[in-house]
Structures are given as C-alpha cells and as structure tokens.
C-alpha cells in the first residue's frame, strides 16, 4: 500500500485566500484524523472521522476551518479565509478499527505558509 | 483531561551511547501509550505502543519503553544510539477505548560522532 497520501506537500498563499488540503487514507481504514503541528502548540488533533462521519471536531480552531470526508478514500481540510497564524504543518492519519485494534499511520504532511 | 509531558526539549548524545527520553502522563486510568519518531520533513512513524500486559515493550529500530504506573511514566530507551536516530520523538497518550491521541511537545535528539 502507498500509505497515507497528502497533497500538496507545500502550499504558499496570501492572507485571505482559500486553502484546501487533501488526504487519501490507506485503503480499508475506517478512521481518519487531521492534526496541526506548530512550534508553539506542538501537535494538535483538529478533527477525526469514523466511516466518513465527523466524530470529534472540538479541536477545529474556528469557523474558518472546515473538514469533509465525502467518501472512504478522500478527505479535505479547508481554511477560508486563511490567516498568517494558520501557517503550520498539517498531518492526516488513518487507522483501522481505532486505536484499540490498530495504530495510526501518518502522511508526510502539508506545510502551509500564509503570507 | 489527559496530558503528556516531555520535560526534555533537546537532548544531545554521542553515537554509541545509551539514550533515555522521558515521558510522563496525567490520566486517571491506564491509558494507551505510544512513542512516535519524526524525521525532518517527514510524517510520524510509530516506534512502539503499550496497551496492557508486559510493562516493557519492544519496538522497531532497537527501541524499548517501560510503563511505570507508580510514576505515570513511559520512558523510551535505546542501549546504543546510531547517527540515523537523530530526529524528533513524540510521546502520545489516548484514553482507554478512545481514538484520538494527545501528543507531548516532543524531544529533539541530536547525535554527535
């Protein structure tokens, strides 16, 4: 398997623009997680899905952030409008049957820079 | 709420020396415990995990970790460090039965020749 695939790997945008990050989980995995990594706050869970349904979005910082999972093989994290403080590395991870049964596999991340 | 503390922000060791990275957690019951490694520009890779049973767990790349309930600790060890072990190491915890991980702030390991 190719692992968790994230695109793009790097994104540079200007403040106010819409940004869409994409994730393809490992085939057969039923959990998908979005994390954000910054120097100040470390790794934070933003939201996670089970069978394409959002389960916990309490980590989503504000209404400018939204995430969707239209099918089992694709998820997006959208920021609209983007702000410089959104600059971070965003990771997607997937797992099968949750942590009690299996581990999370992480993608390589998307490095977002908002100017 | 659970939390994870990694007291060492940066550690430098000589190649061939032993290594111990500290991790303390705060949680009422026995949580699920994990160690991940992140190489520069890469995603996180699981080194090892503890769910229950034997408190000494073996992982990949020669790493091991010991769960000590009395100390609420899950320290990572390696008897002889290789230059390729230079990376950032994250301890993580999850509530029993939960599916979301809480990460520590990480420890950056530098290996000198």
pLDDT digits (tens, 9 = 90+) for B57-66: 999 999 999 9
CA-based torsion, A54, A56, A59, A63: positive or negative = positive
Nearest CB neighbour to B103, from listed A43, A50, A98: A43
Phi, psi of B71 (to 5 degrees): -105, 0
- So what's the pLDDT on residue A97? 78
- So what's the pLDDT on residue A1? 63
Q: What is the mean pLDDT of residues B22-26?
A: 94
Q: What is the mean pLDDT of residues B6-17?
A: 96
Strand, helix or coil for residue A86: helix
Residue linked to tokens 């940004």: A19
Residue B68 has pLDDT above 90, yes or no: yes
Residue A49 has pLDDT above 90, yes or no: yes
Tokens of B64: 């091991």
Of A30-34, A47-51, B10-14, B97-101, the range with the lowest mean pLDDT is: B97-101
List the single residue in A with minimal CA-CA distance to B96.
Answer: A100
Most A-contacting residue of B4, B27, B43, B94 (CB-CB within 10 A), to test interface: B43
Tell me what the pLDDT averaged over chain B comes to: 91
Q: How far is B76 from chain A (nearest CA, A)?
A: 18
**CA B51 to CA B113: how far, in whole Å?**
36
Nearest to B5 by CA among B77, B52, B78, B75: B75
- So what's the pLDDT on residue A100? 59
Residue A19 has pLDDT above 90, yes or no: yes
**CA A4 to CA A32: how far, in whole Å?**
10
Please say whether the beta carbons of B52 and B80 come within 8 A: no
**CA B1 to CA B15: how far, in whole Å?**
38
Most A-contacting residue of B10, B100, B104, B108 (CB-CB within 10 A), to test interface: B100
**CA B93 to CA B33: how far, in whole Å?**
5
- Chains A and B form CB pairs within 8 A to the count of 51
CB contact under 8 A, A45 and B32: no
Tokens of A3: 């692992």
Please say whether the beta carbons of B104 and B44 come within 8 A: no
Residues in chain B closer than 8 A to A95 (CB atoms): 99
pLDDT band (50, 70, 90) for residue B30: confident
Of A9-13, A41-45, B80-84, the range with the lowest mean pLDDT is: A41-45
* Cα distances (angstroms) measured from residue A95 to each of B49, B65, B81, B93, B94: 14, 23, 30, 16, 14
- CB burial of B19-42 (b: ≥16 within 10 Å; e: otherwise) equals bebbbbbebeeebbbbbbbbeeee
């Amino acid at each position: 398997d190719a692992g968790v695939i994230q695109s793009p790997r790097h994104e540079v945008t200007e403040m106010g623009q819409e940004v869409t990050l994409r994730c393809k989980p490992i085939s057969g995995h039923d959990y998908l997680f979005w994390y954000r990594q910054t120097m100040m706050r470390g790794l934070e869970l933003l939201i996670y899905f089970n069978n394409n349904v959002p389960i916990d979005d309490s980590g989503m910082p504000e209404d400018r952030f939204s995430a969707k999972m239209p099918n089992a093989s694709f998820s997006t994290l959208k920021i609209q409008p983007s702000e410089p403080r959104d600059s971070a590395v965003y990771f997607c991870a997937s797992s099968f049957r949750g942590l009690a049964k299996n581990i999370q596999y992480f993608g390589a991340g998307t490095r977002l820079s908002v100017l | 709420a659970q939390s994870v503390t990694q007291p060492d922000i940066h550690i430098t060791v000589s190649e061939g020396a032993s290594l111990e990275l500290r991790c303390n957690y705060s949680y009422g019951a026995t949580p699920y415990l994990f160690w991940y490694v992140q190489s520069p520009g890469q995603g996180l890779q699981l080194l090892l995990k503890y769910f229950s049973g034997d408190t000494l767990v073996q992982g990949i790349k020669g790493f091991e970790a010991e769960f000590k309930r009395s100390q609420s600790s899950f320290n990572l060890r390696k008897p002889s460090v290789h230059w390729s072990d230079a990376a950032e190491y994250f301890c993580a915890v999850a509530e029993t039965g939960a599916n979301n991980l809480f990460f520590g702030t990480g420890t950056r390991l530098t290996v000198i020749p």
